[in-house]
Structure formats: C-alpha cells, structure tokens
Amino acid sequence: QVQLVESGGGLVQAGGSLRLSCAASGTIFSVMAWYRQAPGKQRELVAAQTLGGSTNYADSVKGRFTISRDNTKNTVYLQMNSLKPEDTGVYYCNVRQMSSSREYWGQGTQVTVSS
C-alpha cells in the first residue's frame, strides 16, 4: 500500500514563498505531481515531473513554481515563489506507480495567500 505524507503548507502574504514536500512510501513512480483545488473550483494540475525529469506546468504558475523530485527518497517538492491570492487552495500530491500505473493521492495541504 502506497502512503503519501505531505507537508509545507501554510499562510503567506502575496509575494512570499512556500515549499511543499510529499514523501511516498514503497515503489517507483513514473510521474509525481501536484494538483490544487480552490474553493468552488475543480481540482487542477499545477505541475508534474516524470521519472526521467520532464516537467509540465499550468500556465498560471510558469516562471513562479518549480517542481523537483528526489528519486532516492521518493519525494516530490513544489517550490512556490511570488505567490498570489489566486494560488490559495488545497494542494494535493499525486503519484503514478510505475508497475501498475495506479494513481495515489495525498491528504492535501492548505495554502493560503493573503493580499
């Protein structure tokens, strides 16, 4: 059973920075990603990174957020800079297991950006 432990959320003023972490237990993951869900909105992809290092970002965060992963620790990070109030939401870690392509979700961590 894969377990994900997220950390790093919190309250920050606009223009500030936060770093999210997600540690996954067990196996190798082909893709590790971050999604977010703002109140009253659908969950959306923020950033994703493959095992080979390729990355994909939502247009709204390009140039401000950076995803990275440490494959030796099965951990994915999201460095968020120049935060805006519209970045507020619950951020979820998502991983895809290489062997089965099954996806797993973290419990979510709240990010609140005040204006």
SS (HEC) of 8-68: CCEEEECCCCEEEEEEECCCCEEEEEEEEECCCCCCEEEEEEECCCCEEECHHHCCCEEEE
pLDDT for the residue numbered 107: 95
pLDDT for the residue numbered 26: 81
Distance CA 113, CA 89 (A): 9
Low-confidence ranges of the chain (pLDDT < 70): none
Extract the tokens encoding 35.
Answer: 């999604």
pLDDT for the residue numbered 27: 85
